Structure 1
């Protein structure tokens, strides 16, 4: 595949670096948990390790998303491929909701049918390592999501937090039962599942709204308006409409108020100047009509 267009795209380069970090951390966690589970006979820990392997698959999918989202527009997609990130965020939100529902059902079952857990230093070490690793990934994804304005990374950060909460509840339940002989894993699981479900719902709502075409970010709308008003010869602006085709991929249409004494060609030149200024300053493609 031609990767030249990625080299000139700092946003995509940053995204790929973050994904590479995610792959490395999940590989380490998967190896540690699978080994610990296999050595001690804890199938649940081995299952958690295989869950890290599936997380690696999700990250590879995210890398493919950023790759295609960064590709320039073509005949079939004249406005680019940026909305792929919103689709990816929707998929991740669905996975988070599934995890939350599954955890709720399993936790409710544990409350009515409590089972004994067994203390093991190796298990404690592997679970603690998992918590630290997922905490780091949640922070890294959130940081990158803020830096490059990516809902996909925000979704992956939430997914890492959900994994962290699940692992933390298992660790807490194991320690409490080992030292105090109380079964709290079911109650902890229900609490964590509710947090996960709310997180998944929030991400799903925002991603779906972006795909459907929600009201643009007020800051973006205001920055476009101020940029237009700052152009020479423009006395006002109205009917400003902003179309979101992905992070950092916005299109706008607007009517600008010009001096009525101007000729048709002069009005056209001023409108073209506004278009150029928006493209150079805000990286926004626009259709401007002088009135």
Structure 2
């Protein structure tokens, strides 16, 4: 069904690289999710009211929560597609994240309310009216969620959507919850054990966990998380096809939603290739714009490749680090020409204790390096890393 709707409703549906096509895929899947989850909510609410099962009603509201999430996603994609404006030069793509956060909060509140109802059902158990028709409807619900899992996962891989990957994972949780409820009905029918309230409580925990997980994922994106490895690899591949580029440093990628990125970086090369490196930097910016809709700022660093100077500076800095922490180590060292000066850039890995002493470490390393060459300007950054004792 989804494949047919894609062919009928999405123009140029095979052009997956297009942002507009990706957005159309996401909006279509959100609309289908709203329809199917609303249908499941209606069926389960009806079944729960007939049977008197708190667990089935709770599971129905779980589907309603999924429908709310799909509505938020749909609205988020619509708002995100507004484009750039005078006050939002990089577009409105993060509206998708904001709507996702609000819907996750609503899901968390809903799960809490349903948990209270389930606890009441545990304290005062209700008789459940068993029906094989209700079991059949629950099996159909599981199959619908299985179908939703497959199409969400398939399209998420096509358009590289983390939101749709999360939706696919949520379908698995929903299938597990509905299966548990179906088993509880059958167990209660054959044994008389009244475990309906406990199953309802279990499903409400599923709902709360899902809402909390979604909130944390969105918060991580808003705080700025490590770029996706495939994205970094794609950018690196475009840059390193030029033999004059010897390396990339300080690559920073800002995600503004809907596949729009802003990147800054330093590319390294030899000073005798300065003219061609400027042309290469412009060429890289244009390629990243065409292929990834990425606004790019590139700085060219001309490396000082004198091995004697490099080794001397490395040893001096290493000695200073050992004074503060035995397991601290130099993660990277670059010596960059800058007119009459040489910029010496360190990244040092160490413990949180070493990071707290960053100002002292900087002064110590700076004094040590200046004793070697007074024209050096030292830039030191300490990052927290897992440390292993030296043998």
Give the deviation of 1:33 after TM superposition.
Answer: 4.7
Q: Calculate the aligned-residue CA RMSD, in Å.
A: 3.5
Aligned twin of 1:254 = 265
> CA separation of 1:158/1:261 partners in 2, compared to 1, >3 Å: closer, same or farther?
closer
Q: Is the Cα–Cα contact under 8 Å of residues 80 and 96 in structure 2 kept in the other structure? A: yes
Query: 1:261 is paired with a residue of what secondary structure?
Result: helix
Please list the CA deviations of residues 203-241 of structure 1 after superposition, one character each: whole Å capped at 9, or x if unmatched: 322211101212222332343234222235322221211
What is the aligned partner in structure 2 of residue 286 from structure 1? 296
- Verify: 1:186 aligned to 2:194, yes or no: no
- Superposed counterparts of 1:134-283, under 5 Å: 134-157=145-168, 160-161=171-172, 163-262=174-273, 266-283=276-293
What CA distance in whole angstroms lies between the structure 2 residues aligned with 1:47 and 1:188?
9
Deviates more, 1:107-116 or 1:210-219: 107-116
* Number of the residue aligned with 1:131: 142
CA gap 1:6/1:93 in 2 versus in 1, 3 angstroms: farther
Higher Cα radius of gyration: 2
- Is contact 1:87-1:211 (8 Å) kept? no
Question: Contact 2:135–2:182 at 8 Å: present in 1 too?
Answer: yes
5+ residue gaps, structure 1: none
Query: 1:86–1:151: 8 Å Cα contact kept in structure 2?
Result: no
Q: Across the two proteins, how many residue pairs are aligned to each other? A: 287
The normalised TM-score by structure 2 is 0.61
For residues 133 and 99 of structure 1, do their structure 2 counterparts lie closer, same or farther at Cα, with a shift above 3 Å needed?
farther
> Match of 2:112?
101
C-alpha contact (below 8 Å) 1:138/1:157 kept by paired residues: yes
TM-score, normalising length from structure 1?
0.79
User: How far did residue 17 of structure 1 move?
Assistant: 2.5
Change (3 A) 1:107 1:139: farther
Relative CO higher for 1 or 2, CA cutoff 8 Å, sep ≥ 6? 1
1:154-183 deviations in Å (ceiling 9; x for gaps): 444455455544444433222211121111
2:90 alignment partner, one of 76, 79, 84: 79
For residues 133 and 77 of structure 1, what CA distance do their matches in structure 2 show? Answer: 40
Shift of 1:114: 2.2
